[in-house]
Amino acid sequence: MQWQPRAATAADIEALLALILEHGPNPWNHLPPAEVAAHLQGIADGSSHALLAVK
């Protein structure tokens, strides 16, 4: 089975936030949780967009 892209929805926000905050920060990539959460909330209102790879 191949990976397929799909648009993220409001239902994906919680999992995306957890993934980003667990695996994204490093010494060169500061990710303030409140700002990341606010940006991801834009998925729900259409002001931000994200693609996910799903099987």
Q: What is the DSSP string of 28-39?
A: TB---HHHHHHH
Residue 46 identity (one-letter amino acid)? G
Q: Where are the domains of the chain?
A: 4-54
1 confidence band (pLDDT: 50, 70, 90): confident
2-48 confidence digits (pLDDT tens)? 999 999 999 999 999 999 999 999 999 999 999 999 999 999 999 99
Angle between helices 33-45 and 13-23 (to 10 degrees): 150
Report the predicted TM-score, pTM, of the whole model to 2 decimal places: 0.87
Q: Which of 7, 17, 19, 16 is nearest to 50 (CA)?
A: 7
